[in-house]
Amino acid sequence: MNFDGVNEKTLVLIKPDAIQRGLTGEIISRFERKGIKMVGIKMMGLDDDLLKQHYSHLADKSFFPSLVKFMKSSPIIAVCFEGLEVVNAVRLLCGITKAREAEAGSIRGDLAMSVSCNVVHASDSTENAKKEVERFFKADEIHDYSKSDYEHVYAEDER
């Protein structure tokens, strides 16, 4: 998979609270309207092994067991997005972890009130994005196609 330039990729998870609250379309729509290209999407249930890898940086936190329980409480939707500096752009669209303090206009700022039930996950660096996309998607689940609106989403020297 190519993770350079306009092909930079990132992982978004639409979390169980967003699935239960029927926010999937609203969330995906915000990325689409921004001009971000979707290159992979699937609904899946998460297991302990995958969650231990995904949240390994939080393994020693007191809230870790409840985080794992929450992330297994219903299926999630994993999405791979692609674009120029997309890891950073997607984090900005999502807003900060504590949703009730997230900036109005961001996904968490507009759609959530909680720290744990904060509707989305987004990779936090290009290095982690590569690992996370490869953790959640097989190579043949990521689609390489040209998007006709790129002519208007990016300037010629950015494409």
For residue 11, what are the contacts with CB-CB under 8 A and spacing of at least 6?
A: 78, 79, 80, 121, 122, 123, 129, 132, 133, 135, 136
Least separation, in Å, of the C-beta of 64 and ligand DAT? Answer: 8
Which of these, 75, 94, 88, 1, lies nearest to 40 by C-alpha position? 1
29 binds ligand DAT (CB under 6 A): no
Regarding 92 and contact with ligand DAT (CB under 6 A), the answer is: no
Verify binding: residue 105, ligand DAT, rule CB under 6 A. no
Q: Is 56 in the site for ligand DAT (CB under 6 A)?
A: no
DSSP lists the bridge partners of residue 40 as: 80
**Cβ of residue 153: shortest distance to Mg ion, in angstroms?**
26
Interface with Mg ion: number of residues (CB under 5 A): 1
Active site residues: 121
Q: Which residues bind ligand DAT (CB under 6 A)?
A: 58, 63, 67, 97, 115-116, 118, 121, 124
